[in-house]
Amino acid sequence: MRGNDFLNKMELIDPAYVEAADTKPNKKNTIWVRWAAMAACLCLVAAGAFRISSGKNSRPVLQWSTDFRPESYFRYNLGIDDLAPDKSIAVIPYAASRDFSDNRSRMEADGVIPAMPNHPLYTCTARYLEDGSISCVTFFWQQRGDAYSDLSITAGYQELEQVQDCIYVEIDDRGNIVPPSVTVTERDGIRIVAEGNEHCNKTLTFQNEDGWYQITGSWGDSYEAMGELLDWVWEHPVNFDLFSMEKGSEMTVSSLEEYPDAFSDLLPDFQAFGYVRGKNYLQLKDGTPYAFEGHFYAGVEKSKVDDGSYLFEEGWTEIHWCIDTEPDYYDLQDCPGDISQLSEQQISDVLSEKSSFSFLLDGCFIQVYCKDANAAWAVVASLLKSPA
């Protein structure tokens, strides 16, 4: 897309900004970070789609061959120091979503998605337009630790005119539009647009007769990993019929005020210990409680908790209680075991070094954040079952 084309399309830009896109993220603090990841990755789906269909391109077009190397897709891209610090992204709209994350093993066996054993975290989300038709489907794999990785495939099943409305603009410190830094490759008659490089986030975007696709990788992902996903998608186009709305799980958010009996066996009787309930979030899967996160306060009035003025008081205690019925690989890796294995001394030792401790109760993962080890042990001990 040329400079004048960018200017003519400025009125289409969504004002939302993606902050710190190339910053290494910290390890998650609560279960809600994982739930937000699925929505966050959608901020990348619009990149490059308009450029592919714009027709003219002044940059060299690489011709793909069987000995084409993954790094060649990014041959003409700028280095990280030359990238614009601010990016405005227009995101393809959707009216509803459904979750398909539970079907990973079956999808791998059926060849719907690639097997990625080194990426223990996986989510699959489909988004739909108001008429129920698919807007896009996103497959998202994550790996943590030294081999940090965020890889995703997003596919959209839309008419070309809808995709053309999505543009991506980079703006420099003075507010000037920065010409896109991309490499264009033609493979089997289809143009692939690559952005980013080995030191930052990167994307491979293309559109064929079936729809559009975008592969994304983080600063920690190699060109080889991007190339392998591209080769997979090239040979395994997404079958959108597998992701109709009625086949997915509906994820909704509520609270204990609406579902007072939710997780009653996994929550201490905070009121009996003198705690008042603050903000809390209950996630439902198809109407069934799936996960919970809540804040409970002692030594302060409920009115002060509600308006936030408790922060200026002294002598209050907070317990932040999180429940996940389907803990992930890293949850279980850091968890010492069942609640029966906990002791007051163990909790004290852990909280002297960390902000939280975790345990399993009836197969569910519980993570507790508290600065007061004695207060934490008191409520946890109330859940210990007496021997028969």
Provide the pLDDT confidence category of residue 15 given band limits of 50, 70 and 90: very low
Summarised one tens digit per residue, pLDDT across range 84-126 is: 434 433 456 789 999 999 999 999 999 999 999 999 999 999 9
Closest CA to 197 of 348, 327, 83, 336: 83
Summarised one tens digit per residue, pLDDT across range 301-332 is: 999 999 999 999 899 999 999 999 999 999 99
Instruction: Write out the two tokens for 263.
Output: 């997780």
Q: The whole model's pTM is what?
A: 0.77
Beta-carbon contacts of 232 under 8 Å, excluding residues fewer than 6 positions away, are: 114
Amino acid at 182: V
| Cα Rg of the chain, angstroms | 24
Amino acid at 240: F
